[in-house]
Chains A and B, each alone.
Chain A
Amino acid sequence: MSERITRDEVVHVARLARLRLTDTEIDRFTEQLGDVLNHAADVESLDVGDVSPTSHPLPLVNVVRLDQLVESLDRSELLAQAPFAEAGQFRVPPVLGEEP
Protein backbone atom coordinates (compact mmCIF):
# COMPACT_ATOMS: atom_id res chain seq x y z
CA MET A 1 0.00 0.00 0.00
CA SER A 2 1.51 3.29 -1.05
CA GLU A 3 1.77 6.01 1.53
CA ARG A 4 -1.17 8.32 0.89
CA ILE A 5 -0.34 10.85 3.56
CA THR A 6 2.96 11.28 5.35
CA ARG A 7 3.59 11.82 9.03
CA ASP A 8 4.85 15.33 8.26
CA GLU A 9 1.66 16.15 6.39
CA VAL A 10 -0.42 15.00 9.38
CA VAL A 11 1.61 17.30 11.65
CA HIS A 12 1.14 20.18 9.20
CA VAL A 13 -2.64 19.61 8.90
CA ALA A 14 -2.97 19.42 12.71
CA ARG A 15 -1.28 22.81 12.97
CA LEU A 16 -3.68 24.29 10.38
CA ALA A 17 -6.62 22.83 12.33
CA ARG A 18 -5.32 24.18 15.68
CA LEU A 19 -4.96 20.70 17.18
CA ARG A 20 -2.00 19.34 19.12
CA LEU A 21 -1.45 15.62 18.59
CA THR A 22 0.63 13.19 20.64
CA ASP A 23 3.17 10.99 18.83
CA THR A 24 0.80 8.02 19.15
CA GLU A 25 -2.03 10.07 17.66
CA ILE A 26 0.16 11.20 14.78
CA ASP A 27 1.02 7.57 13.99
CA ARG A 28 -2.58 6.45 14.25
CA PHE A 29 -3.99 9.33 12.20
CA THR A 30 -1.34 8.85 9.52
CA GLU A 31 -2.51 5.28 9.06
CA GLN A 32 -6.24 5.94 9.41
CA LEU A 33 -6.36 9.01 7.17
CA GLY A 34 -4.33 6.98 4.68
CA ASP A 35 -7.03 4.28 4.73
CA VAL A 36 -9.77 6.79 4.02
CA LEU A 37 -7.75 8.45 1.24
CA ASN A 38 -7.03 5.03 -0.26
CA HIS A 39 -10.74 4.40 -0.38
CA ALA A 40 -11.22 7.84 -1.94
CA ALA A 41 -8.96 6.81 -4.82
CA ASP A 42 -12.16 5.87 -6.71
CA VAL A 43 -13.15 9.54 -6.66
CA GLU A 44 -9.63 10.91 -7.05
CA SER A 45 -8.92 8.80 -10.14
CA LEU A 46 -12.24 9.61 -11.78
CA ASP A 47 -12.18 11.26 -15.19
CA VAL A 48 -14.77 13.91 -14.51
CA GLY A 49 -13.99 16.00 -17.59
CA ASP A 50 -16.20 19.05 -17.81
CA VAL A 51 -18.67 18.03 -15.10
CA SER A 52 -19.51 21.12 -13.08
CA PRO A 53 -19.19 20.94 -9.29
CA THR A 54 -22.21 20.94 -6.95
CA SER A 55 -21.49 22.44 -3.56
CA HIS A 56 -25.09 22.50 -2.46
CA PRO A 57 -28.21 20.43 -3.24
CA LEU A 58 -30.44 23.49 -3.64
CA PRO A 59 -29.95 26.44 -5.96
CA LEU A 60 -28.92 29.02 -3.36
CA VAL A 61 -30.37 32.50 -3.59
CA ASN A 62 -29.81 35.51 -1.41
CA VAL A 63 -32.51 35.95 1.18
CA VAL A 64 -33.32 39.54 2.02
CA ARG A 65 -35.76 41.20 4.35
CA LEU A 66 -37.04 44.71 4.93
CA ASP A 67 -34.60 46.92 6.79
CA GLN A 68 -36.72 47.11 9.92
CA LEU A 69 -35.73 46.83 13.55
CA VAL A 70 -36.71 43.50 15.08
CA GLU A 71 -36.05 42.03 18.48
CA SER A 72 -32.68 40.31 18.70
CA LEU A 73 -30.89 38.22 21.27
CA ASP A 74 -29.79 40.03 24.40
CA ARG A 75 -26.09 40.93 24.40
CA SER A 76 -25.52 40.35 28.10
CA GLU A 77 -27.20 36.96 27.87
CA LEU A 78 -24.90 35.96 25.00
CA LEU A 79 -21.79 37.27 26.75
CA ALA A 80 -22.80 35.35 29.88
CA GLN A 81 -22.08 32.16 27.89
CA ALA A 82 -18.51 33.22 27.09
CA PRO A 83 -15.67 31.75 29.14
CA PHE A 84 -14.38 35.28 29.77
CA ALA A 85 -16.18 38.54 29.03
CA GLU A 86 -15.54 42.06 30.20
CA ALA A 87 -17.03 45.48 29.49
CA GLY A 88 -19.52 44.09 26.98
CA GLN A 89 -16.86 42.24 25.00
CA PHE A 90 -15.22 38.83 24.74
CA ARG A 91 -11.86 38.80 26.44
CA VAL A 92 -8.93 36.80 25.04
CA PRO A 93 -5.24 36.46 25.89
CA PRO A 94 -2.73 38.64 23.94
CA VAL A 95 -2.85 38.30 20.15
CA LEU A 96 -0.19 40.74 18.98
CA GLY A 97 3.37 39.49 18.78
CA GLU A 98 2.33 35.91 18.11
CA GLU A 99 3.65 33.77 15.31
CA PRO A 100 0.99 33.80 12.57
Chain B
Amino acid sequence: MSAIDIAAAVRTGNRSAVDVLDEHLNRIDERESEIHAFNLVLAEEARVQAEAIDAKVAAGEDPGPLAGVPVALKDNMCTRGIPTTCSSKILEGWIPPYDATVVTRLADAGAVFVGKTNLDEFAMGSSTENSAFGATHNPLDITRVPGGSSGGSAASVAAGFAALGIGSDTGGSVRQPAAFCGVVGMKPTYGAVSRYGLIAFASSLDQIGPFAADVADAATLFDVIAGHDPLDTTSIVDFIPSATASLDLGVEGLRVGVVQELSGGVGSVQGISPDVIARTRVAVEALAAAGAVVDEVSVPSAPLGLSAYYLVAPAEASSNLARYDGVRFGLRVDADTTGEMNTATRTAGFGEEVKRRIMLGTYALSAGYYDAFYGKALKVRTMMLDDFASVYQKFDVLITPTAPTTAFPLGERSADPMTMYVNDVCTIPSNLVGHPGISVPFGVGDDGLPVGVQVLAPATHDAQTFRVGAVLEAAAKEEVTS
Protein backbone atom coordinates (compact mmCIF):
# COMPACT_ATOMS: atom_id res chain seq x y z
CA MET B 1 0.00 0.00 0.00
CA SER B 2 1.47 3.36 -1.01
CA ALA B 3 1.96 6.19 1.46
CA ILE B 4 -0.68 8.21 -0.39
CA ASP B 5 -3.18 5.34 -0.07
CA ILE B 6 -2.34 4.77 3.60
CA ALA B 7 -2.89 8.46 4.43
CA ALA B 8 -6.18 8.49 2.48
CA ALA B 9 -7.43 5.36 4.26
CA VAL B 10 -6.43 6.63 7.70
CA ARG B 11 -7.85 10.11 7.12
CA THR B 12 -11.23 8.73 6.09
CA GLY B 13 -11.29 6.26 8.97
CA ASN B 14 -11.23 3.24 6.63
CA ARG B 15 -8.08 1.99 8.30
CA SER B 16 -6.60 2.74 11.69
CA ALA B 17 -3.07 4.09 12.01
CA VAL B 18 -2.43 1.40 14.64
CA ASP B 19 -3.37 -1.31 12.14
CA VAL B 20 -1.03 0.19 9.55
CA LEU B 21 1.75 0.33 12.13
CA ASP B 22 1.23 -3.29 13.18
CA GLU B 23 1.48 -4.45 9.59
CA HIS B 24 4.86 -2.72 9.24
CA LEU B 25 6.12 -3.86 12.64
CA ASN B 26 5.24 -7.43 11.65
CA ARG B 27 7.41 -7.15 8.55
CA ILE B 28 10.20 -5.76 10.70
CA ASP B 29 9.84 -8.76 13.03
CA GLU B 30 10.06 -11.13 10.08
CA ARG B 31 13.12 -9.76 8.29
CA GLU B 32 15.02 -7.21 10.37
CA SER B 33 17.39 -9.84 11.80
CA GLU B 34 18.78 -10.54 8.32
CA ILE B 35 18.68 -6.95 7.00
CA HIS B 36 19.63 -4.78 9.99
CA ALA B 37 18.04 -1.62 8.63
CA PHE B 38 17.57 -0.04 12.05
CA ASN B 39 19.76 1.14 14.88
CA LEU B 40 16.59 1.47 16.93
CA VAL B 41 13.01 0.33 16.28
CA LEU B 42 10.57 2.72 17.96
CA ALA B 43 7.68 0.28 18.40
CA GLU B 44 6.27 1.84 21.57
CA GLU B 45 6.76 5.48 20.59
CA ALA B 46 5.23 4.76 17.18
CA ARG B 47 2.19 3.16 18.81
CA VAL B 48 1.62 6.29 20.91
CA GLN B 49 1.85 8.41 17.73
CA ALA B 50 -0.49 6.10 15.81
CA GLU B 51 -3.05 6.10 18.61
CA ALA B 52 -2.97 9.88 18.68
CA ILE B 53 -3.66 9.96 14.93
CA ASP B 54 -6.60 7.60 15.31
CA ALA B 55 -7.95 9.73 18.16
CA LYS B 56 -7.77 12.82 15.93
CA VAL B 57 -9.66 11.04 13.15
CA ALA B 58 -12.29 9.89 15.64
CA ALA B 59 -12.64 13.45 16.95
CA GLY B 60 -13.11 14.82 13.45
CA GLU B 61 -9.80 16.75 13.49
CA ASP B 62 -7.43 16.94 10.52
CA PRO B 63 -4.67 14.36 11.20
CA GLY B 64 -2.41 15.76 8.45
CA PRO B 65 -1.45 14.81 4.90
CA LEU B 66 0.74 11.87 6.02
CA ALA B 67 -1.71 10.57 8.63
CA GLY B 68 -0.58 7.20 9.93
CA VAL B 69 2.20 6.78 7.35
CA PRO B 70 5.15 4.82 8.80
CA VAL B 71 8.44 6.66 8.22
CA ALA B 72 12.01 5.40 8.70
CA LEU B 73 14.37 8.17 9.82
CA LYS B 74 18.11 8.12 9.21
CA ASP B 75 19.90 8.09 12.54
CA ASN B 76 21.77 11.33 11.91
CA MET B 77 18.71 13.48 12.51
CA CYS B 78 17.92 14.65 16.01
CA THR B 79 14.91 13.24 17.81
CA ARG B 80 14.11 14.77 21.18
CA GLY B 81 14.40 12.21 23.95
CA ILE B 82 15.43 9.43 21.56
CA PRO B 83 19.09 8.42 21.07
CA THR B 84 20.71 9.67 17.86
CA THR B 85 23.97 7.93 17.08
CA CYS B 86 25.17 8.68 13.51
CA SER B 87 26.16 4.98 13.77
CA SER B 88 29.20 6.16 15.76
CA LYS B 89 30.53 5.16 19.14
CA ILE B 90 31.46 8.77 19.81
CA LEU B 91 27.79 9.73 20.32
CA GLU B 92 27.28 6.88 22.79
CA GLY B 93 24.62 7.72 25.32
CA TRP B 94 23.71 11.04 23.73
CA ILE B 95 20.03 11.96 23.71
CA PRO B 96 19.19 15.06 21.66
CA PRO B 97 17.39 17.82 23.57
CA TYR B 98 15.51 18.96 20.44
CA ASP B 99 13.91 17.69 17.22
CA ALA B 100 15.28 18.30 13.75
CA THR B 101 12.95 20.49 11.67
CA VAL B 102 12.15 17.56 9.32
CA VAL B 103 11.10 15.54 12.36
CA THR B 104 8.79 18.32 13.56
CA ARG B 105 7.29 18.74 10.08
CA LEU B 106 6.68 15.03 9.63
CA ALA B 107 5.13 14.68 13.08
CA ASP B 108 2.88 17.67 12.37
CA ALA B 109 1.86 16.00 9.09
CA GLY B 110 0.73 12.90 10.99
CA ALA B 111 3.65 10.61 10.12
CA VAL B 112 4.59 7.79 12.50
CA PHE B 113 8.31 7.12 13.13
CA VAL B 114 8.97 3.38 13.10
CA GLY B 115 12.70 3.64 13.73
CA LYS B 116 16.10 5.29 13.41
CA THR B 117 17.97 3.73 10.50
CA ASN B 118 21.53 2.55 10.12
CA LEU B 119 24.07 4.55 8.09
CA ASP B 120 27.75 4.70 7.33
CA GLU B 121 29.27 6.41 10.39
CA PHE B 122 28.54 10.15 10.11
CA ALA B 123 27.18 9.42 6.60
CA MET B 124 30.69 8.73 5.30
CA GLY B 125 30.42 5.84 2.89
CA SER B 126 28.56 4.30 -0.02
CA SER B 127 27.63 0.88 1.36
CA THR B 128 26.42 1.23 4.99
CA GLU B 129 29.30 -1.07 5.94
CA ASN B 130 31.08 1.69 7.90
CA SER B 131 28.62 1.54 10.78
CA ALA B 132 29.83 1.00 14.34
CA PHE B 133 26.81 -1.26 14.75
CA GLY B 134 27.36 -3.55 11.76
CA ALA B 135 26.38 -3.45 8.08
CA THR B 136 22.90 -3.23 6.60
CA HIS B 137 22.06 -5.87 3.97
CA ASN B 138 20.19 -5.28 0.72
CA PRO B 139 16.62 -6.67 1.05
CA LEU B 140 16.67 -7.76 -2.61
CA ASP B 141 19.79 -9.90 -2.08
CA ILE B 142 21.17 -10.07 1.43
CA THR B 143 24.68 -10.89 0.20
CA ARG B 144 24.82 -7.38 -1.35
CA VAL B 145 25.19 -3.92 0.12
CA PRO B 146 22.15 -1.62 0.17
CA GLY B 147 24.32 1.32 -0.90
CA GLY B 148 24.97 4.22 1.39
CA SER B 149 25.24 6.17 3.38
CA SER B 150 21.45 6.15 3.88
CA GLY B 151 21.36 2.37 3.36
CA GLY B 152 19.10 1.71 6.35
CA SER B 153 16.37 4.06 5.12
CA ALA B 154 16.57 2.71 1.55
CA ALA B 155 16.42 -0.89 2.81
CA SER B 156 13.48 -0.03 5.10
CA VAL B 157 11.40 1.18 2.18
CA ALA B 158 12.48 -1.70 -0.08
CA ALA B 159 11.62 -4.28 2.61
CA GLY B 160 8.27 -2.68 3.44
CA PHE B 161 9.38 -1.79 6.98
CA ALA B 162 8.21 1.76 6.33
CA ALA B 163 6.22 3.39 3.55
CA LEU B 164 8.58 6.37 3.44
CA GLY B 165 12.19 6.98 4.37
CA ILE B 166 14.28 10.03 5.16
CA GLY B 167 17.96 10.18 4.26
CA SER B 168 20.69 12.75 3.81
CA ASP B 169 22.70 13.19 0.63
CA THR B 170 26.17 14.76 0.71
CA GLY B 171 27.61 13.06 -2.39
CA GLY B 172 24.83 10.69 -3.42
CA SER B 173 23.84 9.14 -0.08
CA VAL B 174 20.11 9.14 -0.88
CA ARG B 175 20.18 8.53 -4.64
CA GLN B 176 22.77 5.71 -4.76
CA PRO B 177 21.13 3.51 -2.06
CA ALA B 178 17.76 4.18 -3.72
CA ALA B 179 19.21 2.84 -6.97
CA PHE B 180 20.73 -0.21 -5.23
CA CYS B 181 17.50 -1.08 -3.39
CA GLY B 182 15.13 -0.43 -6.30
CA VAL B 183 13.30 2.52 -4.74
CA VAL B 184 12.97 6.24 -5.51
CA GLY B 185 15.40 8.65 -3.79
CA MET B 186 15.79 12.37 -4.27
CA LYS B 187 18.31 15.06 -3.31
CA PRO B 188 16.66 18.48 -3.18
CA THR B 189 18.20 21.80 -4.15
CA TYR B 190 20.66 22.90 -1.46
CA GLY B 191 18.59 24.98 0.97
CA ALA B 192 15.19 23.55 -0.06
CA VAL B 193 14.94 21.33 3.03
CA SER B 194 16.04 22.61 6.44
CA ARG B 195 19.24 21.11 7.84
CA TYR B 196 18.37 22.16 11.39
CA GLY B 197 18.93 19.08 13.54
CA LEU B 198 20.77 17.17 10.80
CA ILE B 199 24.14 16.29 12.29
CA ALA B 200 26.65 17.97 9.98
CA PHE B 201 29.05 16.06 7.74
CA ALA B 202 29.94 18.61 5.01
CA SER B 203 27.78 21.67 5.52
CA SER B 204 27.97 23.15 2.01
CA LEU B 205 26.93 19.80 0.46
CA ASP B 206 24.51 18.11 2.93
CA GLN B 207 20.82 17.96 2.03
CA ILE B 208 18.00 15.88 3.51
CA GLY B 209 15.95 13.97 0.94
CA PRO B 210 13.01 11.56 0.58
CA PHE B 211 12.85 7.81 -0.15
CA ALA B 212 9.68 6.12 -1.34
CA ALA B 213 8.50 3.09 -3.29
CA ASP B 214 7.25 5.32 -6.11
CA VAL B 215 7.65 8.83 -7.47
CA ALA B 216 4.25 10.10 -6.31
CA ASP B 217 4.96 9.09 -2.71
CA ALA B 218 8.41 10.71 -2.87
CA ALA B 219 6.84 13.91 -4.20
CA THR B 220 4.29 13.92 -1.39
CA LEU B 221 7.05 13.53 1.19
CA PHE B 222 9.17 16.21 -0.48
CA ASP B 223 6.29 18.71 -0.37
CA VAL B 224 5.92 18.09 3.38
CA ILE B 225 9.59 18.49 4.33
CA ALA B 226 10.67 21.26 1.92
CA GLY B 227 10.23 24.99 2.47
CA HIS B 228 11.80 27.81 4.42
CA ASP B 229 12.92 27.35 8.01
CA PRO B 230 14.21 30.32 10.03
CA LEU B 231 16.32 27.90 12.12
CA ASP B 232 18.58 27.13 9.13
CA THR B 233 20.44 30.20 7.87
CA THR B 234 21.04 28.53 4.48
CA SER B 235 17.35 27.75 3.98
CA ILE B 236 16.00 29.36 0.79
CA VAL B 237 13.52 32.02 1.88
CA ASP B 238 11.04 31.87 -0.98
CA PHE B 239 11.15 28.16 -1.83
CA ILE B 240 7.62 26.79 -2.30
CA PRO B 241 7.64 23.03 -3.02
CA SER B 242 5.39 21.93 -5.89
CA ALA B 243 6.44 18.35 -6.63
CA THR B 244 3.02 16.69 -6.49
CA ALA B 245 1.52 19.32 -8.79
CA SER B 246 4.10 18.48 -11.47
CA LEU B 247 3.61 14.71 -11.57
CA ASP B 248 1.11 14.61 -14.45
CA LEU B 249 2.67 17.25 -16.68
CA GLY B 250 4.44 14.75 -18.98
CA VAL B 251 7.58 15.57 -20.95
CA GLU B 252 6.16 16.74 -24.28
CA GLY B 253 8.64 19.27 -25.69
CA LEU B 254 10.92 19.06 -22.65
CA ARG B 255 14.62 19.38 -23.59
CA VAL B 256 16.54 16.42 -22.16
CA GLY B 257 20.35 16.17 -22.27
CA VAL B 258 22.30 12.97 -21.71
CA VAL B 259 25.56 13.85 -19.95
CA GLN B 260 28.10 12.00 -22.07
CA GLU B 261 30.93 12.24 -19.49
CA LEU B 262 28.79 10.34 -16.93
CA SER B 263 26.93 7.97 -19.24
CA GLY B 264 29.60 6.08 -21.15
CA GLY B 265 29.67 8.61 -24.02
CA VAL B 266 32.56 10.70 -25.40
CA GLY B 267 35.13 11.47 -22.69
CA SER B 268 33.23 9.42 -20.14
CA VAL B 269 34.63 8.50 -16.76
CA GLN B 270 35.75 4.88 -16.62
CA GLY B 271 34.02 2.10 -14.75
CA ILE B 272 30.38 2.55 -15.69
CA SER B 273 29.01 -0.94 -16.42
CA PRO B 274 27.76 -1.66 -19.93
CA ASP B 275 24.43 -2.95 -18.60
CA VAL B 276 23.91 0.26 -16.61
CA ILE B 277 24.74 2.34 -19.70
CA ALA B 278 22.31 0.23 -21.74
CA ARG B 279 19.48 0.77 -19.27
CA THR B 280 20.16 4.51 -19.24
CA ARG B 281 19.89 4.55 -23.05
CA VAL B 282 16.54 2.74 -22.89
CA ALA B 283 15.32 5.32 -20.37
CA VAL B 284 16.34 8.14 -22.69
CA GLU B 285 14.52 6.48 -25.60
CA ALA B 286 11.42 6.20 -23.41
CA LEU B 287 11.54 9.94 -22.74
CA ALA B 288 11.92 10.62 -26.46
CA ALA B 289 8.94 8.35 -27.16
CA ALA B 290 6.97 10.38 -24.61
CA GLY B 291 7.65 13.56 -26.58
CA ALA B 292 10.86 14.89 -25.04
CA VAL B 293 13.55 16.44 -27.26
CA VAL B 294 16.64 14.40 -26.49
CA ASP B 295 20.29 15.09 -27.26
CA GLU B 296 23.78 14.28 -26.00
CA VAL B 297 25.46 17.03 -24.03
CA SER B 298 28.94 17.65 -22.69
CA VAL B 299 29.61 18.88 -19.16
CA PRO B 300 33.41 19.03 -19.46
CA SER B 301 34.15 19.58 -15.76
CA ALA B 302 31.90 16.72 -14.56
CA PRO B 303 34.71 14.13 -14.36
CA LEU B 304 36.63 16.45 -12.02
CA GLY B 305 33.81 16.28 -9.51
CA LEU B 306 35.05 13.12 -7.83
CA SER B 307 38.43 14.56 -6.87
CA ALA B 308 36.98 17.94 -5.93
CA TYR B 309 34.40 16.26 -3.72
CA TYR B 310 36.95 14.08 -1.92
CA LEU B 311 38.86 17.24 -1.01
CA VAL B 312 35.95 19.55 -0.14
CA ALA B 313 33.82 17.06 1.82
CA PRO B 314 36.67 15.78 4.05
CA ALA B 315 37.88 19.36 4.59
CA GLU B 316 34.47 20.43 5.85
CA ALA B 317 34.11 17.20 7.82
CA SER B 318 37.45 17.70 9.57
CA SER B 319 36.16 21.05 10.78
CA ASN B 320 32.62 19.90 11.66
CA LEU B 321 33.83 16.85 13.55
CA ALA B 322 36.22 18.90 15.69
CA ARG B 323 33.26 19.32 18.04
CA TYR B 324 33.54 15.69 19.17
CA ASP B 325 36.09 16.36 21.88
CA GLY B 326 34.58 14.64 24.91
CA VAL B 327 33.52 17.92 26.54
CA ARG B 328 29.87 18.63 25.75
CA PHE B 329 28.19 15.37 24.65
CA GLY B 330 28.68 11.70 23.99
CA LEU B 331 31.75 9.67 24.76
CA ARG B 332 34.63 10.79 26.98
CA VAL B 333 37.75 8.75 27.58
CA ASP B 334 39.38 10.18 30.69
CA ALA B 335 42.98 11.37 30.77
CA ASP B 336 45.18 13.62 32.90
CA THR B 337 44.90 16.71 30.71
CA THR B 338 42.20 18.08 28.40
CA GLY B 339 44.39 17.65 25.31
CA GLU B 340 45.04 14.00 26.12
CA MET B 341 41.36 13.51 26.90
CA ASN B 342 40.39 15.01 23.50
CA THR B 343 42.79 12.70 21.65
CA ALA B 344 41.87 9.59 23.65
CA THR B 345 38.15 10.24 23.13
CA ARG B 346 38.42 10.81 19.38
CA THR B 347 40.76 7.85 18.91
CA ALA B 348 38.36 5.50 20.71
CA GLY B 349 35.13 7.00 19.37
CA PHE B 350 35.67 7.38 15.62
CA GLY B 351 35.74 4.46 13.19
CA GLU B 352 38.37 3.98 10.52
CA GLU B 353 36.61 5.69 7.59
CA VAL B 354 35.81 8.75 9.69
CA LYS B 355 39.44 8.96 10.80
CA ARG B 356 40.57 8.61 7.19
CA ARG B 357 38.36 11.49 6.06
CA ILE B 358 39.32 13.71 8.98
CA MET B 359 42.97 13.04 8.11
CA LEU B 360 42.40 13.75 4.42
CA GLY B 361 40.52 16.97 5.18
CA THR B 362 43.06 18.16 7.73
CA TYR B 363 45.81 17.52 5.18
CA ALA B 364 43.94 19.32 2.36
CA LEU B 365 43.50 22.36 4.63
CA SER B 366 46.99 22.35 6.12
CA ALA B 367 49.69 24.91 5.43
CA GLY B 368 51.44 24.26 2.13
CA TYR B 369 48.64 22.15 0.65
CA TYR B 370 45.62 24.43 1.00
CA ASP B 371 46.07 26.16 -2.36
CA ALA B 372 47.05 23.00 -4.25
CA PHE B 373 44.12 20.91 -3.02
CA TYR B 374 41.28 22.64 -1.18
CA GLY B 375 41.67 25.94 -3.04
CA LYS B 376 41.75 24.22 -6.43
CA ALA B 377 38.73 22.10 -5.55
CA LEU B 378 36.74 25.25 -4.80
CA LYS B 379 37.66 26.57 -8.24
CA VAL B 380 36.44 23.33 -9.79
CA ARG B 381 33.11 24.02 -8.11
CA THR B 382 32.97 27.34 -9.95
CA MET B 383 33.83 25.64 -13.25
CA MET B 384 31.05 23.13 -12.69
CA LEU B 385 28.54 25.84 -11.83
CA ASP B 386 29.48 27.65 -15.06
CA ASP B 387 29.28 24.46 -17.15
CA PHE B 388 25.85 23.54 -15.79
CA ALA B 389 24.58 27.12 -16.23
CA SER B 390 25.57 27.03 -19.88
CA VAL B 391 24.13 23.54 -20.45
CA TYR B 392 20.83 24.56 -18.85
CA GLN B 393 20.49 27.34 -21.43
CA LYS B 394 19.74 24.58 -23.92
CA PHE B 395 18.28 21.84 -21.72
CA ASP B 396 15.59 21.61 -19.05
CA VAL B 397 16.87 18.42 -17.39
CA LEU B 398 19.87 16.11 -17.66
CA ILE B 399 20.08 12.31 -17.51
CA THR B 400 22.84 10.05 -16.17
CA PRO B 401 22.95 6.66 -14.48
CA THR B 402 22.66 7.05 -10.68
CA ALA B 403 25.59 4.74 -9.93
CA PRO B 404 28.20 3.05 -12.13
CA THR B 405 27.07 -0.46 -11.13
CA THR B 406 24.26 -2.32 -9.45
CA ALA B 407 24.55 -3.30 -5.76
CA PHE B 408 27.90 -5.00 -5.15
CA PRO B 409 28.66 -7.84 -2.70
CA LEU B 410 29.25 -6.98 0.96
CA GLY B 411 32.95 -6.69 1.71
CA GLU B 412 33.97 -6.38 -1.94
CA ARG B 413 35.13 -2.76 -1.79
CA SER B 414 35.56 -2.03 1.90
CA ALA B 415 39.33 -2.64 1.87
CA ASP B 416 40.09 -0.05 -0.82
CA PRO B 417 38.69 3.44 -0.20
CA MET B 418 39.27 4.70 -3.74
CA THR B 419 37.21 1.93 -5.38
CA MET B 420 34.44 2.74 -2.90
CA TYR B 421 34.62 6.48 -3.63
CA VAL B 422 34.19 5.91 -7.38
CA ASN B 423 30.59 4.83 -6.64
CA ASP B 424 29.67 8.46 -6.22
CA VAL B 425 30.99 9.75 -9.55
CA CYS B 426 27.55 10.34 -11.11
CA THR B 427 25.86 11.82 -8.05
CA ILE B 428 28.60 14.12 -6.73
CA PRO B 429 28.31 16.93 -9.30
CA SER B 430 24.84 17.98 -8.12
CA ASN B 431 26.06 18.27 -4.52
CA LEU B 432 29.01 20.43 -5.51
CA VAL B 433 26.71 22.83 -7.39
CA GLY B 434 23.68 22.51 -5.07
CA HIS B 435 21.28 21.27 -7.75
CA PRO B 436 18.44 18.73 -7.31
CA GLY B 437 18.55 15.14 -8.58
CA ILE B 438 16.31 12.10 -8.38
CA SER B 439 17.02 8.39 -8.83
CA VAL B 440 14.22 6.31 -10.32
CA PRO B 441 14.42 2.50 -10.70
CA PHE B 442 14.55 1.57 -14.38
CA GLY B 443 14.66 -2.17 -14.83
CA VAL B 444 17.51 -4.46 -13.86
CA GLY B 445 21.13 -5.11 -14.83
CA ASP B 446 22.70 -8.37 -16.02
CA ASP B 447 22.70 -9.65 -12.43
CA GLY B 448 18.96 -9.10 -12.03
CA LEU B 449 19.46 -6.25 -9.55
CA PRO B 450 17.88 -2.81 -9.99
CA VAL B 451 19.44 -0.03 -12.06
CA GLY B 452 18.69 3.58 -11.13
CA VAL B 453 18.46 6.37 -13.67
CA GLN B 454 19.18 9.89 -12.46
CA VAL B 455 17.38 13.07 -13.51
CA LEU B 456 19.15 16.37 -12.77
CA ALA B 457 17.68 19.87 -12.94
CA PRO B 458 18.82 23.43 -12.21
CA ALA B 459 18.65 24.85 -8.68
CA THR B 460 15.08 25.24 -7.34
CA HIS B 461 13.64 23.24 -10.27
CA ASP B 462 13.10 20.26 -7.98
CA ALA B 463 9.60 19.70 -9.37
CA GLN B 464 11.10 18.97 -12.81
CA THR B 465 12.97 15.95 -11.44
CA PHE B 466 9.71 14.45 -10.13
CA ARG B 467 7.92 15.30 -13.38
CA VAL B 468 10.47 13.43 -15.50
CA GLY B 469 10.79 10.70 -12.86
CA ALA B 470 7.07 9.98 -13.12
CA VAL B 471 7.38 9.46 -16.88
CA LEU B 472 10.38 7.15 -16.44
CA GLU B 473 8.53 5.17 -13.81
CA ALA B 474 5.51 4.72 -16.09
CA ALA B 475 7.78 3.62 -18.95
CA ALA B 476 9.57 1.09 -16.73
CA LYS B 477 6.21 -0.36 -15.63
CA GLU B 478 4.98 -0.58 -19.20
CA GLU B 479 8.18 -2.36 -20.23
CA VAL B 480 7.59 -5.04 -17.58
CA THR B 481 3.92 -5.62 -18.47
CA SER B 482 4.28 -5.57 -22.27
Please report A residues at the B interface, Cβ cutoff 8 Å: 5, 9-10, 13-14, 16-21, 25, 29, 32-33, 35-37, 39-44, 46, 48, 51-58, 60, 63, 65, 73-74, 77-78, 81-84, 90, 92-95, 97-99
Contact = CB atoms under 8 A, between A and B. Distances in A.
Given A36-B418, A53-B381, A73 B98 contact: yes
Given A19-B355, A39-B310, A57-B191, 10 more contacts: A5-B363, A17-B362, A20-B344, A35-B417, A39-B306, A52-B379, A53-B381, A55-B378, A81-B330, A98-B337
B234 A51 contact: no
B161 interface: no
14 contacts: A5-B363, A17-B318, A18-B343, A19-B355, A32-B416, A37-B363, A39-B307, A53-B378, A60-B233, A77-B97, A81-B330, A82-B329, A95-B337, A98-B338
Contact of A43 (B98, B307, B342, B363): B307
Interface centre among A37, A43, A93 (most CB of B within 10 A): A43
Interface of B: 94-95, 97-98, 190-191, 204, 230, 233-234, 236, 303-304, 306-308, 310-311, 318, 325-332, 334-344, 346-347, 350, 352, 355-356, 358-360, 362-363, 366, 372-373, 375-383, 385, 416-418, 421, 432-434, 459
Closest 4 CB pairs of A and B: A57-B434, A53-B378, A83-B332, A54-B381
Contacts of A29: 355-356, 359
Nearest to A43: B307
B97 A78 contact: yes
Contact of A51 (B190, B339, B379): B379
Contacts of B380: 43, 46, 48
B418 A35 contact: yes
B379 A95 contact: no
Contacts of A92: 327, 338, 341
A32 B356 contact: yes
Contact of A44 (B236, B343, B350, B372): B372
Contacts of A81: 94-95, 97, 328-330
A94 B98 contact: no
A35 to B, nearest CB: 5
B379 A53 contact: yes
Nearest to A42: B307
Contact of A56 (B204, B325, B343, B356): B204
